[in-house]
Structure 1
């Protein structure tokens, strides 16, 4: 259910206003404008129950895939806007920190909204009572009452999911409008004579850029570690810690901790550097992963580990998007005659992020299947408990250390980053005054 609420989290960046000259609508905004209404419609149809029985699976498969595709069409230009709102690294880092804070907060708000609306339907079904008489009579005919109760619960649940999806769509549109009206792009090209880059040539150059390949591979392993933890935490709390009624609160604590930790990590990376923030922030979760796998059933320990895990999740949210603009700047320094490569960097990274999500889901599903997991059963074989403990502790820890070893090869430290900043500024200063005036630094509101 959490992935469905990505619809809420993506558009919540509309707080940046650029003081630059409004020369055109930009390269990114048209994709956002075109994808938003179609994404909203496809998301709503995912939760709508069609009036036919045959072909329901195909219906949901088509619209779910369509929604994911349109969401990607929104998310890639939305993320790449970071490169078009300011040419200053510090301001882009600040914008990224605000953006990721709003995304995580959006996940929390979206989960809370759907939880409250759908929770009301579940409460209705448990009570098996309606306010208006005549809908069903539980004392008149037990069999008929059961049928009426089941039908009423089903209708009420359908309505609740439709209302929840409608609220989500409204938030999506509202945030997209704020984004459209609140953000203006401007040309950040280091050279006025830069030539447009074709997609295939750009993809070849981007994937062959050493710092980008290192960054992607490092975060591919660390992201996979946290995805395994988050993807199995509900089953782990249910069958290993016997905390079936508390796992939703544990997930909420993780996301709240991540939301509150992002501004702190932002200040940390400004003071100590981004590579240091990666090492400290990602390894922060390792002792707590070991602790949570060793306990049998302790709600206090579970909440403690959730707070610590949320702090590391904040690093996994913030640092990739904060370091990606540095890689783009490094590419610009080495290829000042090219332009139009920013979206390739961001779209490729989104691809690898979704790839890590798919690998995480596949590994978890296969592992649980081999361990004898029975869907819907309240009692699972002992091997399931062992498998869940492996998936939330040893495997993520190994993946984290592999990712950190790859990061040792990441060449863009603070010295190189500041050097690239100086070189790009020198390139921009060579442009005509009219071009320079249109590249004034954006203001973060």
Structure 2
């Protein structure tokens, strides 16, 4: 909780300053780089303990799974809310595209002369207003989390000595086979969906020709994901988590293939967007719901370990950030080589083809690789049941041992 409490106000300040335009034009790039990196660092300081709380709010697997489903539903809903707020506020002061992308320098000069100072100021104020609204929601959610959640410790952990060192814990965690296989599969599937997410707006604008519809299409995807997370939660409790991973994440492949070969059709695109949201829900929920099972398995194999949960979650978050960075790098380099023109009203055919590859073919390959790695993941439903029984026996033993120690202490005080 201290990490969440102290990182929140600093993250709010950094986020607001990202959208503030300083008066010194030569140092603006450094300004944005500094505060963006600072914001990402502070958000990580919030996200890691926030995610790790899953292991400390209950000792029951079913309750942890329910908490994970609830957490991911709210996260997707928060993404929907943020997209809607940013899109509606900033969309009122959107900067027009450049009509002549083949001569971007002249076009930019013309745009700078035609756009009034008042219009530019309105755009800057719109971004600041959206940042202020989102920052307010951030604070409210952090307060609710801090005041409404109480941590619980495992009974057998309370008798342990102080937590092991970070480097020893890291060595044990990264040598745990199920965790390595899980994060490898998680990395590839996350990279696949981040490629789609990062290039979706450009794909809708230039390849499909729906410049004014991409915000609504993105909203359709995220709303579909929000409503289907509870369905996937029911599915994984009924058929198992590995089966849910195969069915949920692989269901995106047919729709990505359809997008690759279909003509520009708005109705079909909306249908594909809603269907894609179903797979996005699975990609959000299922890998995170499998992580507590890995930690339980680790505790059984390393019963003397204590305080390693943050290491598990921190590297899960690290690989999420890593996938985001790789996705951004691949997209930027690919579009640059293809000749992408910033703010152009149209793009060369090579750019449209590159966007289609980034949104369809590349994610399909990454999804298939991720599913292959998930196939090697050893914790199935039978293994989960065995681990649950073993942990329950360990808790009962620790509880009875604690009672015996208490009785002995009381007897000694009487004597």
> Counterpart of 2:220?
253
The answer to whether residue 358 in structure 2 is matched with residue 391 in structure 1 is yes
The answer to whether residue 89 in structure 2 is matched with residue 117 in structure 1 is yes
> Counterpart of 2:253?
286
CA distance in 2, matches of 1:111, 1:291: 26
> Counterpart of 1:10?
none
CA distance in 2, matches of 1:370, 1:117: 33
Offset at residue 434 of structure 1 (A): 9.9
CA distance in 2, matches of 1:69, 1:355: 13
**Root-mean-square deviation over aligned CA pairs:** 2.0
CA distance in 1, matches of 2:201, 2:87: 15
The answer to whether residue 210 in structure 2 is matched with residue 238 in structure 1 is no
| Alpha-carbon contact 1:117-1:160 (below 8 Å) kept | yes
> Counterpart of 1:93?
65
CA-to-aligned-CA distance 1:54-80 (integer Å, 9 cap, x gap) = 422212211111110000000000000
CA distance in 2, matches of 1:409, 1:192: 34
The answer to whether residue 45 in structure 2 is matched with residue 73 in structure 1 is yes
CA-to-aligned-CA distance 1:126-154 (integer Å, 9 cap, x gap) = 9xxxxxxxxxxxxxxxxxxx989712212
Offset at residue 397 of structure 1 (A): 1.1
Change (3 A) 1:395 1:149: closer
Offset at residue 276 of structure 1 (A): 0.2
> Counterpart of 1:37?
9
| Alpha-carbon contact 2:155-2:398 (below 8 Å) kept | no
Offset at residue 226 of structure 1 (A): 1.0
> Counterpart of 1:427?
394
> Counterpart of 1:409?
376
For residue 381 of structure 1, the aligned residue among 348, 359, 362 is: 348
Change (3 A) 1:147 1:210: closer
> Counterpart of 2:142?
176
Offset at residue 191 of structure 1 (A): 4.1
For residue 29 of structure 2, the aligned residue among 36, 50, 57 is: 57
The answer to whether residue 116 in structure 2 is matched with residue 150 in structure 1 is yes
CA-to-aligned-CA distance 1:274-321 (integer Å, 9 cap, x gap) = 000000001111111111110121111111111111100101100111
Offset at residue 49 of structure 1 (A): 2.2
The answer to whether residue 212 in structure 2 is matched with residue 274 in structure 1 is no
For residue 262 of structure 2, the aligned residue among 287, 295, 310 is: 295
- Aligned length in residues: 388
CA distance in 2, matches of 1:158, 1:264: 41
- Unmatched tracts of structure 1, length 5 or more: 1-28, 127-145, 437-445
For residue 190 of structure 2, the aligned residue among 203, 223, 238 is: 223
Three-state SS of the structure 1 residue aligned to 2:386 is helix
For residue 198 of structure 1, the aligned residue among 165, 171, 178 is: 165
CA distance in 1, matches of 2:155, 2:305: 8
> Counterpart of 2:154?
188
CA-to-aligned-CA distance 1:190-221 (integer Å, 9 cap, x gap) = 34433412111111111110000000001111
| Alpha-carbon contact 1:83-1:188 (below 8 Å) kept | no
Change (3 A) 1:147 1:289: closer
Three-state SS of the structure 2 residue aligned to 1:423 is helix
Q: Could you tell me the TM-score, scaled by structure 2's length?
A: 0.89
**Greater helix percent: which structure?**
2
| Alpha-carbon contact 2:87-2:215 (below 8 Å) kept | no
| Alpha-carbon contact 1:262-1:314 (below 8 Å) kept | yes
Change (3 A) 1:178 1:323: same
Change (3 A) 1:382 1:116: closer
| Alpha-carbon contact 2:155-2:399 (below 8 Å) kept | no
CA distance in 2, matches of 1:238, 1:382: 13
> Counterpart of 1:18?
none
